[in-house]
Protein backbone atom coordinates (compact mmCIF):
# COMPACT_ATOMS: atom_id res chain seq x y z
CA UNK A 1 0.00 0.00 0.00
CA UNK A 2 1.24 3.46 -0.85
CA UNK A 3 2.51 5.51 2.08
CA UNK A 4 1.06 8.67 0.56
CA UNK A 5 -2.63 7.88 0.47
CA UNK A 6 -5.01 10.70 -0.41
CA UNK A 7 -7.51 11.24 2.41
CA UNK A 8 -11.13 12.33 2.07
CA UNK A 9 -14.08 13.07 4.37
CA UNK A 10 -16.94 10.63 3.76
CA UNK A 11 -19.11 11.08 6.86
CA UNK A 12 -20.04 13.80 9.34
CA UNK A 13 -21.82 13.82 12.70
CA UNK A 14 -22.51 16.69 15.06
CA UNK A 15 -24.13 17.70 18.31
CA UNK A 16 -23.98 21.43 18.91
CA UNK A 17 -25.87 24.42 20.32
CA UNK A 18 -27.22 24.85 16.77
CA UNK A 19 -28.66 21.36 16.39
CA UNK A 20 -28.61 17.72 17.39
CA UNK A 21 -27.29 16.50 14.06
CA UNK A 22 -24.93 17.77 11.38
CA UNK A 23 -27.58 18.91 8.91
CA UNK A 24 -29.53 21.00 11.44
CA UNK A 25 -26.31 22.46 12.81
CA UNK A 26 -25.16 23.53 9.34
CA UNK A 27 -28.56 24.84 8.24
CA UNK A 28 -28.77 27.02 11.34
CA UNK A 29 -25.19 28.22 10.92
CA UNK A 30 -25.99 29.41 7.40
CA UNK A 31 -29.06 31.21 8.78
CA UNK A 32 -26.93 32.97 11.39
CA UNK A 33 -28.87 31.46 14.30
CA UNK A 34 -27.59 32.34 17.76
CA UNK A 35 -27.17 29.15 19.80
CA UNK A 36 -26.20 31.02 22.96
CA UNK A 37 -28.85 31.23 25.68
CA UNK A 38 -29.15 31.51 29.45
CA UNK A 39 -27.74 28.47 31.23
CA UNK A 40 -30.39 25.95 32.28
CA UNK A 41 -28.22 23.01 33.36
CA UNK A 42 -26.85 24.72 36.46
CA UNK A 43 -27.80 27.27 39.07
CA UNK A 44 -25.38 30.09 38.19
CA UNK A 45 -26.77 32.68 40.58
CA UNK A 46 -23.42 32.73 42.43
CA UNK A 47 -21.40 33.03 39.22
CA UNK A 48 -20.52 36.14 37.24
CA UNK A 49 -21.73 34.60 33.96
CA UNK A 50 -25.14 33.35 32.90
CA UNK A 51 -24.80 32.36 29.23
CA UNK A 52 -23.61 29.28 27.37
CA UNK A 53 -24.14 27.32 24.20
CA UNK A 54 -26.07 24.33 25.55
CA UNK A 55 -27.54 21.46 23.54
CA UNK A 56 -31.27 21.93 23.16
CA UNK A 57 -34.01 19.31 23.54
CA UNK A 58 -31.42 16.56 23.70
CA UNK A 59 -32.24 13.35 25.58
CA UNK A 60 -29.46 10.79 25.71
CA UNK A 61 -31.96 7.97 26.30
CA UNK A 62 -33.22 8.52 22.76
CA UNK A 63 -29.82 7.24 21.64
CA UNK A 64 -28.26 5.08 24.36
CA UNK A 65 -29.96 2.71 26.80
CA UNK A 66 -30.24 4.32 30.24
CA UNK A 67 -28.03 1.84 32.09
CA UNK A 68 -25.22 2.23 29.57
CA UNK A 69 -25.56 6.01 29.44
CA UNK A 70 -25.14 6.21 33.23
CA UNK A 71 -21.70 4.63 32.82
CA UNK A 72 -20.53 7.42 30.53
CA UNK A 73 -19.78 11.05 31.25
CA UNK A 74 -21.67 13.43 28.97
CA UNK A 75 -18.59 14.12 26.84
CA UNK A 76 -18.45 10.41 26.00
CA UNK A 77 -22.19 10.22 25.37
CA UNK A 78 -21.90 13.08 22.90
CA UNK A 79 -19.03 11.38 21.09
CA UNK A 80 -20.92 8.10 20.73
CA UNK A 81 -24.00 9.82 19.31
CA UNK A 82 -22.05 11.97 16.85
CA UNK A 83 -19.82 9.06 15.80
CA UNK A 84 -22.85 6.89 15.05
CA UNK A 85 -24.21 9.67 12.85
CA UNK A 86 -20.90 10.10 11.03
CA UNK A 87 -20.48 6.37 10.37
CA UNK A 88 -24.09 6.05 9.23
CA UNK A 89 -23.67 9.08 6.98
CA UNK A 90 -20.54 7.52 5.46
CA UNK A 91 -22.38 4.21 4.99
CA UNK A 92 -19.25 2.62 6.42
CA UNK A 93 -19.70 -1.07 7.18
CA UNK A 94 -17.56 -2.08 10.15
CA UNK A 95 -17.41 -5.88 10.16
CA UNK A 96 -14.94 -8.68 10.83
CA UNK A 97 -13.29 -8.06 7.47
CA UNK A 98 -12.86 -4.30 7.85
CA UNK A 99 -12.66 -3.62 11.61
CA UNK A 100 -8.87 -3.95 11.93
CA UNK A 101 -8.37 -1.23 9.31
CA UNK A 102 -10.82 1.27 10.83
CA UNK A 103 -9.59 3.30 13.80
CA UNK A 104 -10.85 5.91 16.25
CA UNK A 105 -9.08 9.12 17.33
CA UNK A 106 -11.33 11.44 19.33
CA UNK A 107 -10.09 14.06 21.76
CA UNK A 108 -11.49 16.00 24.71
CA UNK A 109 -9.92 19.03 26.29
CA UNK A 110 -11.04 18.44 29.88
CA UNK A 111 -12.76 15.05 29.86
CA UNK A 112 -15.24 14.04 32.56
CA UNK A 113 -15.36 17.18 34.67
CA UNK A 114 -18.95 16.55 35.74
CA UNK A 115 -18.06 12.99 36.80
CA UNK A 116 -15.21 14.36 38.90
CA UNK A 117 -17.47 16.88 40.64
CA UNK A 118 -20.08 14.24 41.49
CA UNK A 119 -17.51 11.75 42.78
CA UNK A 120 -15.73 14.39 44.86
CA UNK A 121 -19.01 15.32 46.56
CA UNK A 122 -19.69 11.64 47.26
CA UNK A 123 -16.22 11.22 48.74
CA UNK A 124 -16.61 14.20 51.07
CA UNK A 125 -20.20 13.56 52.08
CA UNK A 126 -20.39 9.75 52.21
CA UNK A 127 -16.83 8.45 52.27
CA UNK A 128 -14.54 6.62 49.83
CA UNK A 129 -16.67 3.47 49.62
CA UNK A 130 -19.42 5.46 47.94
CA UNK A 131 -17.29 6.50 44.97
CA UNK A 132 -18.45 4.64 41.87
CA UNK A 133 -16.21 1.90 40.39
CA UNK A 134 -16.96 3.59 37.06
CA UNK A 135 -15.42 6.87 38.26
CA UNK A 136 -12.04 6.50 36.51
CA UNK A 137 -13.37 5.01 33.22
CA UNK A 138 -15.93 7.82 33.06
CA UNK A 139 -13.42 10.56 33.88
CA UNK A 140 -10.45 9.95 31.60
CA UNK A 141 -10.42 11.89 28.30
CA UNK A 142 -9.52 8.86 26.16
CA UNK A 143 -12.77 7.11 27.08
CA UNK A 144 -14.68 8.82 24.27
CA UNK A 145 -12.40 7.00 21.85
CA UNK A 146 -12.66 3.80 23.87
CA UNK A 147 -16.44 3.78 24.04
CA UNK A 148 -16.86 4.72 20.35
CA UNK A 149 -14.57 1.88 19.29
CA UNK A 150 -16.50 -0.56 21.50
CA UNK A 151 -19.86 0.73 20.30
CA UNK A 152 -18.97 0.54 16.61
CA UNK A 153 -16.49 -2.34 16.65
CA UNK A 154 -13.58 -0.38 15.17
CA UNK A 155 -10.32 -2.18 16.03
CA UNK A 156 -7.74 -0.13 14.12
CA UNK A 157 -5.43 2.63 15.44
CA UNK A 158 -6.95 3.95 18.64
CA UNK A 159 -5.94 7.04 20.56
CA UNK A 160 -6.84 10.40 22.02
CA UNK A 161 -5.33 13.86 21.80
CA UNK A 162 -5.59 16.42 24.61
CA UNK A 163 -4.41 19.86 23.52
CA UNK A 164 -7.00 22.17 25.10
CA UNK A 165 -8.89 24.14 22.44
CA UNK A 166 -6.75 22.67 19.65
CA UNK A 167 -7.82 19.12 20.54
CA UNK A 168 -10.39 18.51 17.80
CA UNK A 169 -8.19 19.82 15.03
CA UNK A 170 -5.12 17.98 16.30
CA UNK A 171 -7.17 14.78 16.47
CA UNK A 172 -8.30 15.12 12.86
CA UNK A 173 -4.79 16.00 11.77
CA UNK A 174 -3.29 12.96 13.48
CA UNK A 175 -5.98 10.69 12.01
CA UNK A 176 -5.25 12.18 8.58
CA UNK A 177 -1.59 11.25 8.94
CA UNK A 178 -2.43 7.71 10.08
CA UNK A 179 -4.38 7.10 6.88
CA UNK A 180 -1.92 8.99 4.69
CA UNK A 181 0.94 6.73 5.74
CA UNK A 182 -1.16 3.61 5.18
CA UNK A 183 -1.80 2.48 8.76
CA UNK A 184 -5.60 2.51 8.39
CA UNK A 185 -8.23 2.69 5.67
CA UNK A 186 -10.60 4.87 7.70
CA UNK A 187 -10.60 6.83 10.96
CA UNK A 188 -13.50 8.07 13.06
CA UNK A 189 -12.14 11.32 14.47
CA UNK A 190 -12.86 14.73 15.95
CA UNK A 191 -13.55 16.23 19.34
CA UNK A 192 -16.12 16.16 22.12
CA UNK A 193 -16.73 18.24 25.25
CA UNK A 194 -19.24 18.65 28.08
CA UNK A 195 -17.78 21.62 30.01
CA UNK A 196 -20.91 23.31 31.32
CA UNK A 197 -20.25 22.31 34.91
CA UNK A 198 -19.71 24.24 38.12
CA UNK A 199 -15.96 23.64 38.35
CA UNK A 200 -15.28 24.30 34.67
CA UNK A 201 -17.20 27.55 34.66
CA UNK A 202 -15.69 28.63 38.00
CA UNK A 203 -12.19 27.87 36.76
CA UNK A 204 -12.50 29.61 33.40
CA UNK A 205 -14.18 32.55 35.11
CA UNK A 206 -11.34 32.80 37.63
CA UNK A 207 -8.87 32.96 34.74
CA UNK A 208 -10.94 35.81 33.25
CA UNK A 209 -11.40 33.88 30.03
CA UNK A 210 -15.21 33.99 29.98
CA UNK A 211 -17.41 36.89 28.95
CA UNK A 212 -19.33 38.48 31.81
CA UNK A 213 -21.73 40.13 29.36
CA UNK A 214 -25.32 39.09 30.21
CA UNK A 215 -26.76 39.98 26.79
CA UNK A 216 -26.87 36.90 24.57
CA UNK A 217 -26.82 39.10 21.45
CA UNK A 218 -23.50 40.74 22.29
CA UNK A 219 -21.69 38.38 24.67
CA UNK A 220 -19.90 36.42 21.93
CA UNK A 221 -18.78 38.94 19.32
CA UNK A 222 -15.50 37.91 17.70
CA UNK A 223 -13.36 40.66 16.19
CA UNK A 224 -15.65 43.39 17.58
CA UNK A 225 -14.93 46.28 19.91
CA UNK A 226 -15.97 45.60 23.51
CA UNK A 227 -15.49 41.81 23.35
CA UNK A 228 -14.56 40.57 26.79
CA UNK A 229 -14.14 36.80 26.63
CA UNK A 230 -15.54 33.61 25.20
CA UNK A 231 -18.88 31.93 25.88
CA UNK A 232 -18.77 28.24 26.79
CA UNK A 233 -20.36 25.71 24.45
CA UNK A 234 -20.83 21.93 24.46
CA UNK A 235 -21.19 19.13 21.95
CA UNK A 236 -19.22 16.94 19.56
CA UNK A 237 -18.00 17.13 15.98
CA UNK A 238 -16.98 13.81 14.40
CA UNK A 239 -15.89 13.03 10.85
CA UNK A 240 -15.08 9.83 9.01
CA UNK A 241 -11.77 10.17 7.20
CA UNK A 242 -11.03 7.55 4.58
CA UNK A 243 -8.36 6.79 2.05
CA UNK A 244 -9.46 7.80 -1.41
CA UNK A 245 -8.80 4.26 -2.55
CA UNK A 246 -11.22 2.87 0.05
CA UNK A 247 -13.84 5.57 -0.57
CA UNK A 248 -13.82 5.02 -4.33
CA UNK A 249 -14.02 1.26 -3.91
CA UNK A 250 -17.17 1.69 -1.81
CA UNK A 251 -18.66 4.38 -4.03
CA UNK A 252 -18.81 6.69 -1.02
CA UNK A 253 -19.96 10.30 -1.12
CA UNK A 254 -17.01 12.63 -0.62
CA UNK A 255 -17.48 15.98 1.13
CA UNK A 256 -13.94 17.25 0.69
CA UNK A 257 -10.33 16.13 0.66
CA UNK A 258 -8.00 16.88 3.57
CA UNK A 259 -4.63 17.92 2.19
CA UNK A 260 -2.69 19.76 4.89
CA UNK A 261 -2.00 19.67 8.62
CA UNK A 262 0.26 21.87 10.71
CA UNK A 263 0.81 21.90 14.46
CA UNK A 264 3.20 23.98 16.58
CA UNK A 265 3.89 25.10 20.14
CA UNK A 266 4.23 28.71 21.29
CA UNK A 267 6.67 27.95 24.13
CA UNK A 268 5.48 31.24 25.60
CA UNK A 269 2.70 31.24 28.23
CA UNK A 270 0.14 28.87 29.79
CA UNK A 271 -2.87 30.83 28.51
CA UNK A 272 -1.77 33.85 26.44
CA UNK A 273 -0.83 33.43 22.77
CA UNK A 274 2.66 34.31 21.58
CA UNK A 275 3.05 37.94 20.46
CA UNK A 276 1.95 38.68 16.90
CA UNK A 277 0.51 35.15 16.68
CA UNK A 278 3.96 33.77 15.93
CA UNK A 279 3.06 30.18 16.83
CA UNK A 280 -0.27 30.23 15.03
CA UNK A 281 1.36 31.67 11.94
CA UNK A 282 3.93 28.88 11.90
CA UNK A 283 1.14 26.30 12.18
CA UNK A 284 -0.71 27.87 9.24
CA UNK A 285 2.47 27.90 7.17
CA UNK A 286 3.19 24.29 8.11
CA UNK A 287 -0.27 23.28 6.91
CA UNK A 288 0.25 25.19 3.66
CA UNK A 289 3.60 23.49 3.16
CA UNK A 290 2.06 20.10 3.89
CA UNK A 291 -0.64 20.80 1.29
CA UNK A 292 2.02 22.11 -1.11
CA UNK A 293 0.08 25.28 -1.83
CA UNK A 294 0.58 29.02 -1.37
CA UNK A 295 -1.48 31.10 1.05
CA UNK A 296 -3.12 33.04 -1.78
CA UNK A 297 -4.78 29.80 -2.99
CA UNK A 298 -6.93 29.59 0.18
CA UNK A 299 -10.31 31.32 -0.24
CA UNK A 300 -11.85 30.72 3.21
CA UNK A 301 -10.57 30.45 6.76
CA UNK A 302 -12.70 29.27 9.67
CA UNK A 303 -11.02 31.24 12.43
CA UNK A 304 -10.44 30.25 16.02
CA UNK A 305 -12.10 33.60 16.78
CA UNK A 306 -13.15 33.10 20.40
CA UNK A 307 -14.14 36.72 21.19
CA UNK A 308 -11.30 37.30 23.64
CA UNK A 309 -9.58 40.70 23.41
CA UNK A 310 -6.02 39.40 22.97
CA UNK A 311 -6.83 36.13 21.21
CA UNK A 312 -8.78 37.62 18.31
CA UNK A 313 -6.24 40.37 17.68
CA UNK A 314 -3.33 37.93 17.83
CA UNK A 315 -5.03 35.59 15.36
CA UNK A 316 -5.60 38.48 12.94
CA UNK A 317 -1.92 39.34 13.22
CA UNK A 318 -1.04 35.70 12.53
CA UNK A 319 -3.30 35.66 9.48
CA UNK A 320 -1.69 38.82 8.11
CA UNK A 321 1.79 37.46 8.76
CA UNK A 322 0.94 34.24 6.92
CA UNK A 323 -1.18 35.53 4.06
CA UNK A 324 0.42 38.90 3.39
CA UNK A 325 -1.47 40.79 0.69
CA UNK A 326 -3.83 37.83 0.25
CA UNK A 327 -5.24 38.55 3.75
CA UNK A 328 -7.12 41.49 2.24
CA UNK A 329 -9.30 39.25 0.06
CA UNK A 330 -9.48 36.19 2.32
CA UNK A 331 -12.91 35.38 3.75
CA UNK A 332 -12.61 34.72 7.50
CA UNK A 333 -15.54 33.81 9.72
CA UNK A 334 -15.88 32.80 13.36
CA UNK A 335 -18.73 30.34 13.73
CA UNK A 336 -18.13 30.48 17.49
CA UNK A 337 -20.24 33.64 17.34
CA UNK A 338 -23.17 31.21 17.00
CA UNK A 339 -22.03 28.07 18.84
CA UNK A 340 -19.90 29.51 21.59
CA UNK A 341 -16.54 27.87 22.27
CA UNK A 342 -16.80 24.07 22.45
CA UNK A 343 -13.22 23.73 23.73
CA UNK A 344 -11.91 20.31 22.64
CA UNK A 345 -14.90 19.76 20.36
CA UNK A 346 -14.62 23.03 18.50
CA UNK A 347 -12.11 21.80 15.91
CA UNK A 348 -14.41 18.92 15.00
CA UNK A 349 -17.43 21.15 14.49
CA UNK A 350 -15.41 23.70 12.53
CA UNK A 351 -13.87 21.04 10.28
CA UNK A 352 -17.43 20.03 9.40
CA UNK A 353 -18.34 23.66 8.70
CA UNK A 354 -15.27 24.00 6.48
CA UNK A 355 -16.09 20.83 4.52
CA UNK A 356 -19.70 21.89 4.02
CA UNK A 357 -18.62 25.37 2.96
CA UNK A 358 -16.63 23.73 0.18
CA UNK A 359 -19.48 21.40 -0.78
CA UNK A 360 -22.15 24.09 -0.83
CA UNK A 361 -20.00 27.02 -2.00
CA UNK A 362 -21.40 28.96 0.94
CA UNK A 363 -19.76 30.49 4.01
CA UNK A 364 -21.45 30.72 7.40
CA UNK A 365 -21.18 34.23 8.89
CA UNK A 366 -19.71 35.85 11.95
CA UNK A 367 -22.83 37.13 13.70
CA UNK A 368 -23.05 39.99 16.22
CA UNK A 369 -20.81 42.02 13.92
CA UNK A 370 -21.92 45.57 14.72
CA UNK A 371 -18.87 47.50 15.99
CA UNK A 372 -15.76 46.18 14.22
CA UNK A 373 -12.45 46.44 16.01
CA UNK A 374 -10.34 48.61 13.64
CA UNK A 375 -7.30 46.49 14.47
CA UNK A 376 -9.14 43.36 13.27
CA UNK A 377 -9.42 44.70 9.74
CA UNK A 378 -10.19 41.50 7.83
CA UNK A 379 -13.32 40.35 6.00
CA UNK A 380 -15.18 38.39 8.69
CA UNK A 381 -18.31 37.69 6.59
CA UNK A 382 -20.45 39.83 8.89
CA UNK A 383 -23.94 38.71 9.94
CA UNK A 384 -25.07 36.99 6.72
CA UNK A 385 -23.84 33.93 4.86
CA UNK A 386 -22.06 34.55 1.58
CA UNK A 387 -21.73 32.51 -1.61
CA UNK A 388 -18.21 31.65 -2.70
CA UNK A 389 -16.71 28.96 -4.88
CA UNK A 390 -14.08 27.46 -2.58
CA UNK A 391 -11.17 25.29 -3.67
CA UNK A 392 -9.22 25.43 -0.40
CA UNK A 393 -10.46 26.10 3.14
CA UNK A 394 -8.35 26.41 6.27
CA UNK A 395 -9.49 25.82 9.87
CA UNK A 396 -7.55 27.21 12.85
CA UNK A 397 -7.56 26.03 16.47
CA UNK A 398 -5.36 27.69 19.08
CA UNK A 399 -5.29 26.36 22.64
CA UNK A 400 -4.16 27.07 26.19
CA UNK A 401 -0.60 25.86 26.73
CA UNK A 402 0.44 27.31 23.38
CA UNK A 403 -1.03 24.51 21.24
CA UNK A 404 -1.71 25.49 17.62
CA UNK A 405 -3.36 23.20 15.06
CA UNK A 406 -4.42 23.93 11.48
CA UNK A 407 -5.95 21.77 8.77
CA UNK A 408 -6.54 22.52 5.10
CA UNK A 409 -9.42 21.03 3.12
CA UNK A 410 -9.75 20.96 -0.65
CA UNK A 411 -12.69 20.57 -3.02
CA UNK A 412 -12.47 16.97 -4.19
CA UNK A 413 -11.47 16.29 -7.75
CA UNK A 414 -10.09 13.07 -9.24
Active site residues: 165, 304, 341
Q: Give me the DSSP letters along 319-337.
A: HHHHHGGGGGT-EEE-THH
Whole-angstrom Cα distance, residue 304 to residue 301?
Answer: 9
Q: Map 103-171 to HEC letters.
A: EEEEECCCCCHHHHHHHHHHHHHHCHHHCCCCHHHHHCCCHHHHHHHHHHCCCCCEECCCCHHHHHHHH
Strand pairing report for 392-399 and 300-302? parallel
The CA R_g of the chain, rounded to the nearest whole Å, is 20
Count the Cβ atoms, other than its own, within 10 Å of residue 296. 15
Q: Which H or E element spans position 403?
A: strand 403-410
CA distances from 398 to 15, 65, 303, 360 (A): 21, 36, 9, 26
Amino acid sequence: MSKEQRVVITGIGALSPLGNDAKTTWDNALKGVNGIEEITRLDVSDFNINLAGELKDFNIEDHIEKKEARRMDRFTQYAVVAAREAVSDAKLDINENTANRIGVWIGSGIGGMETFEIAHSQLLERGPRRVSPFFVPMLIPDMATGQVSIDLGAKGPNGSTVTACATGTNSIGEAFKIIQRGDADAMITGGTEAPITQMAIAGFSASRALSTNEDKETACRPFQEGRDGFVMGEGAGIVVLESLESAKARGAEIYAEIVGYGTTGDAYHITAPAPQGEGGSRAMQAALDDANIEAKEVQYLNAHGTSTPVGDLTEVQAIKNTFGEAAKTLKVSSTKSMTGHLLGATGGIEAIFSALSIRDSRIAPTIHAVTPDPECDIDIVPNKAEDLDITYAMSNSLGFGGHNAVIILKKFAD
